[in-house]
Amino acid sequence: MTTPPRPHGIHLIADLAATKGLDDPAFVEAVLREAAAAARVTLIDLRLHHFGEHSGVTGVALLAESHISIHTWPEHALAAVDIFTCGGEARPQAALDHMIHRFAAHLLRMERIDRLA
Active site residue 69: no
Q: Rounded to an integer, what distance in angstroms lies between the CA atom of residue 68 and that of residue 55?
A: 20
Q: Is residue 97 part of a domain?
A: yes
CATH number of residue 101's parent domain: 3.60.90.10
Instruction: Provide the domain count of the chain.
Output: 1
Q: Is residue 88 part of a domain?
A: yes
Active site residue 50: no
At residue 1 the predicted structure's pLDDT band, cuts being 50, 70 and 90, is low
Catalytic residue (choose from 8, 86, 101, 106): 86
Domain that holds residue 103: 9-107
For the segment 10-54, what is each residue's pLDDT rounded down to a tens digit?
999 999 999 999 999 999 999 999 999 999 999 999 999 999 999
Q: Is residue 117 part of a domain?
A: no
Positions of E strands within 18-75: 43-50, 57-63, 66-73
Active site residue 101: no
Q: Is residue 1 part of a domain?
A: no
Catalytic residue (choose from 66, 67, 98, 101): 66
For the segment 89-100, what is each residue's pLDDT rounded down to a tens digit?
899 999 999 999
| Average pLDDT in the chain | 95
Q: Is residue 67 part of a domain?
A: yes
Q: pTM for this one?
A: 0.92
Q: Is residue 31 part of a domain?
A: yes
Nearest to 18 by CA among 71, 62, 67, 68: 71
Catalytic residue (choose from 50, 67, 71, 101): 71
